[in-house]
Amino acid sequence: MPLDHGLVGVESAPVERSWTSKDTLLYALGVGAGVDEPAFTTENSTGVPQRVLPTFAVLAAQVPTGRRLGDFDPAMLVHAEQAFELHRTLPPEGRVRTTSKVTGIYDKGSGALVTSEAHAVEAESGEPLITSRSAVFIRGEGGFGGDRGPRDGWTEPAGPPDHEVTYATYRDQALLYRLSGDRNPLHSDPVFAARAGFGRPILHGLCTYGITGRALLHAVAGSDPARFVSMSGRFSSPVFPGEPLTVSIWVDGATAFFRTSKGDGTVVIDRGRAAFRPA
């Protein structure tokens, strides 16, 4: 069955999700935070109240789609783009009500790019908390003669980066990150990874995204989540657990442009933008 183009523009019923202090701590550990970041990795350090990494917003606003898009081999689906905007600072524990919709299905020839948008509000007050936008690429589902989709005019800023931050990843990092909810066997099962064309399981794209968000938070926002407004980027190459990641950041006023690369120079997140509030 081909992808269901009738889903475009149809808003889902609200889905409620809650999280605890343990969930946000586990997420921080999964994206590499450690003893040097106690505000994000502990809840009872003396004089250090628990805070939440801004990129947890993507998980908090996620709505599972399952097979709603159609009948296709899940091994052919990869995360292509991710963006979010925070309307207020994330609490260590909370509850949201989220609606979502598919905003486009675009024909890329070798596959289809499916874009979606989600809006999460605080369950009790109804106040906006998160707007999340994402895209997935499904290999083999293109060629239907549709629109190729909008183009992004991102260009690399002139001059060297204002900041370069390198973080190590470790070989079993995907096994920890998956406990935050993404149990896709692409990141844990060698047989499934081989079906998708990889020699071994790859790191979650959103783990790489979270590592990148940590670098932006500390380099540009003074480690203060209340200053972190939004972040977007395009996934351009897989990361294998154990490969180091370097985030190159160019600052232009309240905006940072960024790119994340592996140790061999391969770009893994491209066309990055983030917005921050002044100190």
Six-digit token pair at 41?
């990795």
Residue 182 designated active-site: yes
d(C-alpha 249, C-alpha 215), whole Å: 9
Classify 181 in phi/psi space as left (phi over 0), alpha (psi -120 to 50) or beta: left
Adjacent-strand bridge partners of 248: 164, 259
Q: Which residue has the tokens 């160019």?
A: 250
Q: Which residue has the tokens 């409620």?
A: 16
d(C-alpha 156, C-alpha 4), whole Å: 36
d(C-alpha 257, C-alpha 43), whole Å: 32
Question: Which candidate in 79, 119, 187, 204 is catalytic?
Answer: 187
Angle at 130 between CA 98 and CA 61, to 5 degrees: 45
Question: Cβ-count burial of 77 within 10 angstroms (0-12 exposed, 13-18 middle, 19+ buried)?
Answer: buried
d(C-alpha 277, C-alpha 258), whole Å: 17
Which ranges in 88-204 belong to alpha helices (H)? 173-177, 190-195
Length of the chain: 279
Residue 5 designated active-site: no
Question: Which candidate in 23, 119, 182, 270 is catalytic?
Answer: 182
Return the active site residues. Answer: 182, 187
